[in-house]
A and B are shown apart, each in its own frame.
Chain A
C-alpha cells in the first residue's frame, strides 16, 4: 500500500516538476535572481529528493509537508 502511494506521489511530482522547472514564463536578466538557470533545468525527482535530505540533515528534523500556514 505504501509503495503505491509513494509511486503515485512520484509521478505527480514529476508532472509538476516538468512544468514548474522549465515551462511557463521564463525571464532572465540582471534583475532576475534565481538558482543558476542550468541547474534548474530538469533537476528531476532524484536531485530534488536529495535536496530534501540535505535540508533534513541541516535542520535535524524530517520535513513532513509543504508550507504551514503562519499562526
Chain B
C-alpha cells in the first residue's frame, strides 16, 4: 500500500479532527516512538504534479502546524508500504527529533528585496568618475583599452557587491534580533538583492513583522516581499544517507552545524 507522506510531527497521538488529503483520502498519523509520520493512502500513478495537488499538500501541512511542530516533507514523497515507512522512521529518528526540537514553537518567514541595480550602478560610476582616486590607464593600444575596460568593470563589480553587503547587513541587524536562525542569499540576480529566510519564535512574530515594516521606510526605491508563516522548510538538516547516523562523528557534525547557525545568528545582534 502506497503512503503519501506529508510531514513528521512531534506526537505519537492520533489526529482527532478529520483531515482529507490528496485523492480525498483520510490523513492519519503513524506513530514511531514519541514522533509520528503523517500520511494518507495513495493510488494515483505518480505523475500528477498539478497546482491543485501542490496547494492541497501545503494546506495539510498548515493544518498540522496548528497543533504540532511539523517537519514538512518534500512534495510527492510516497513510501512503498508501512514497513518501509517504519524503517525510515527508525533510520532517521534522531535527526527528526533534533529538527523537531529546534523547530518547536518556531515558524519560518521569507523576506525578499529588489533593488534598482541600474541606478545603483549609475551612482557608482558617477561617484568614481568624480573621485580623485581614479586609476588611469592610457588607451593607446587595444590591449591597454582592454585592460582599462576590464578594470572599470572590476571596480564597478566590487563596489556593487560592497553596496549589496552594506544594505543587507543593515536589514539583517534588524531582523536577526528576533530570529533564532537565518539563511541569506545575496544577489541571486542583479536586481534580487536579498532572498532571506528567518526562523522566528511564535511569540516574537509581531516584533519581527514590525521590524520589517520599519526597514521599508528608509528604502523607498526598494521593493519588498514578505511571506509566512511557514513551517521550517529551509532549516531542516538531514544527512544525505541514513547510514551516516551510525557514525558518531557525523552526529557531532550535526551538533556543530546547529551550534554554528546559532552563533551566526547571535554574532549579528
Contacts and interface: CB of A to CB of B under 8 A. Distances in A.
Do A and B touch (CB < 8 Å)?
Answer: yes
Interface of A: 11, 13, 15-17, 19-27, 29-35, 40, 43, 47-49, 51-52, 55, 63, 65-70
Interface string B46-80: 11111111111111000000000001111111111
A21 B59 CA distance: 15
A40 B78 CA distance: 13
Contact of A32 (B49, B51, B78, B236): B78
A32 B80 contact: yes
Contacts of A33: 2, 46, 78-80
A52 B78 contact: no
Contacts of B57: 20
> Which bucket holds chain B's interface residue count?
35 or more
A41 B46 CA distance: 16
B73 A27 contact: yes
A40 B204 CA distance: 34
Residue among B21, B54, B231 with the highest chain A CB neighbour number at 10 A: B54
A34 B77 contact: yes
Contacts of A68: 24
A16 B79 contact: no
B50 A52 contact: yes
A52 B51 contact: yes
B227 A67 contact: no
Contacts of B22: 67
B50 A55 contact: yes
Contacts of B170: none
Contact of A15 (B87, B110, B231): B110
A51 B7 CA distance: 24
B70 to A, nearest CB: 9
A23 B236 CA distance: 8
B72 A24 contact: yes
Contact of A35 (B47, B80, B88): B47
B52 A66 contact: yes
10 contacts: A16-B58, A20-B57, A24-B233, A25-B73, A31-B81, A33-B2, A33-B79, A33-B80, A43-B49, A67-B23
B20 interface: yes
B54 A63 contact: no
Contacts of B236: 23-25
B49 A48 contact: yes
A16 B231 CA distance: 11
Contacts of A29: 88, 242
A40 B75 contact: yes
A63 to B, nearest CB: 6
B85 to A, nearest CB: 8
Contacts of A31: 79-81, 84-85, 87-88
Contacts of B245: none
B234 interface: yes
Contacts of A69: 20, 24
Contacts of B164: none
A66 B84 CA distance: 29
A11 B224 CA distance: 13
Nearest to B72: A24
Contacts of B87: 31
